[in-house]
């Protein structure tokens, strides 16, 4: 999503310079709708997110930014310093991640489960599984995958190729772990 600069957002506020280190309630009241509106721009929506999901995420981001900005102190809220801008961007990045991750997880769960069921006939260890077992394995695969495949992890990959390799590796690893037979309990020896 589009990263907002503190300078741009502050320019929308009243032109009278403030000497306070915290945002005034009136300033926040004007700023938060602008954060939400900028987030909702169609050109800024990620391809995996629906318009409804983006609307929910942007409402969440605006709320989290409001809470963060209300508590934070800045050198100057009207003419932000480099440190002010950095702090603002850190709040924005944290809000984006916190608000987008649940939607990303939901999408990941759904897509991985679909892919698991669709690819099962071509995966040797899954061929011939009865429907009930297949559903159980694919449910496990999607849960494990979605728990591991986070936005933070995806961001660590330098390019699309390495991201796809990491994704395939996690998918294969999840299938192997979820389809493994349950471990047998060995009876304890009596001395």
What is the C-alpha separation between 79 and 125, in angstroms, rounded?
62
- Average pLDDT taken over every residue of the chain: 84
- pLDDT for the residue numbered 38: 87
The residue among 37 and 1 whose pLDDT is bigger is 37
The residue among 3 and 178 whose pLDDT is bigger is 178
Report the pLDDT averaged over residues 60-67: 95
Residue position matching structure tokens 């495949």: 149
pLDDT digits (tens, 9 = 90+) for 65-121: 999 999 998 988 888 889 999 999 999 999 999 999 999 999 999 999 999 999 999
- pLDDT for the residue numbered 191: 57
For the chain, the first-to-last Cα distance in angstroms comes to: 65
Q: Where are the domains of the chain?
A: 6-101, 102-178
- pLDDT for the residue numbered 59: 94
Residue 1 pLDDT more than 60?
no
Q: What is the DSSP string of 26-77?
A: HHHHHHHHHHHHHHT-GGGS-TTS-HHHHHHHHHHHHHHHHHHHHH---S-S
What is the percent of the chain with per-residue pLDDT over 70, rounded to a whole number? 81
Answer whether 0.85 is exceeded by the pTM: no
- pLDDT for the residue numbered 58: 93
Q: What band does 190 get if pLDDT is binned at 50, 70 and 90?
A: low
Window from 14-23, 31-40, 152-161, 164-173 with minimum mean pLDDT: 14-23
């Amino acid at each position: 999503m589009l990263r907002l600069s503190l300078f741009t957002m502050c320019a929308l506020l009243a032109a009278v310079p403030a000497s306070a280190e915290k945002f005034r309630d009136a300033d926040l009241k004007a700023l938060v709708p602008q954060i939400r509106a900028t987030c909702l721009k169609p050109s800024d929506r990620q391809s995996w997110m629906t318009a409804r999901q983006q609307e929910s995420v942007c409402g969440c981001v605006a709320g989290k930014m409001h809470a963060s900005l209300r508590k934070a102190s800045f050198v100057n809220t009207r003419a932000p310093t480099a440190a002010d801008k950095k702090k603002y961007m850190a709040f924005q990045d944290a809000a984006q991640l916190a608000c987008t991750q649940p939607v990303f997880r939901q999408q990941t769960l759904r897509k991985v489960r679909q892919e698991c069921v669709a690819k099962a006939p071509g995966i040797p260890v899954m061929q011939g599984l009865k429907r009930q077992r297949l559903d159980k394995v694919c449910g496990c695969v999607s849960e494990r995958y979605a728990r591991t495949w986070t936005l933070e992890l995806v961001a660590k990959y330098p390019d699309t190729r390495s991201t796809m390799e990491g994704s395939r590796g996690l998918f294969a690893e999840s299938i192997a772990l979820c389809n493994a037979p349950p471990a047998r309990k060995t009876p304890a020896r009596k001395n």
